[in-house]
């Protein structure tokens, strides 16, 4: 019985770890590149243009693709990150932002 439990636990940890690691790494990317202006989904430069879900939708950025476009090419005061981040990192950050917005940045 203990052997079966160990095998099942090993399988769960083996397959779950990459997802946890990816979210953790994306969180670190956000903290390093984005949180200076967007701490907790806010915006210290343009207060109304936050990363909160209602603002993202209001300004037409309520999808991963739309958020990725802004991260890639920048807009207004926001710098473009296409030279600093890979396409995969940008997509991951865009998904991270939308996920946090859906959770009200909690």
Instruction: Confirm if 81 and 73 have CB atoms less than 8 A apart.
Output: no
For residue 14, is it within any domain? no
CATH number of the domain within which 59 lies: 1.10.760.10
Q: How far apart are CA 16 and CA 34, in angstroms?
A: 27
Q: Averaged in consecutive runs of 10 residues, what is the pLDDT profile of the chain (106 residues)?
A: 52 43 79 90 86 94 97 94 97 97 93
pLDDT value, residue 3: 62
Assess if residue 6 is contained within a domain: no
> Residue 11's pLDDT is what?
46
pLDDT of residue 14: 45
Which domain covers residue 73, as residue numbers?
22-102
CB 53 within 8 A of CB 99: no
In 3D space, the residue among 23, 27, 37 whose CA is nearest the CA of residue 74 turns out to be 37
Residues whose CB is less than 8 angstroms from the CB of residue 78 and which lie 6 or more positions away in sequence, other chains included = 37, 45, 70
- What is the model's pLDDT at position 26? 92
Q: What does the pLDDT read at residue 5?
A: 46
Residue 93 in contact with residue 71, Cβ under 8 Å?
yes
The structural domain count of the chain equals 1
């Amino acid at each position: 019985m203990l052997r079966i439990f160990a095998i099942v636990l090993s399988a769960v940890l083996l397959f779950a770890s990459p997802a946890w690691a990816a979210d953790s790494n994306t969180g670190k990317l956000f903290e390093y590149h984005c949180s200076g202006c967007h701490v907790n989904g806010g915006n210290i430069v343009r207060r109304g243009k936050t990363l909160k879900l209602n603002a993202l939708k209001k300004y037409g950025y309520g999808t991963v693709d739309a958020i990725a476009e802004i991260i890639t090419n920048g807009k207004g005061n926001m710098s473009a990150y296409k030279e600093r981040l890979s396409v995969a990192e940008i997509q991951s950050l865009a998904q991270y932002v939308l996920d946090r917005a859906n959770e009200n940045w909690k």
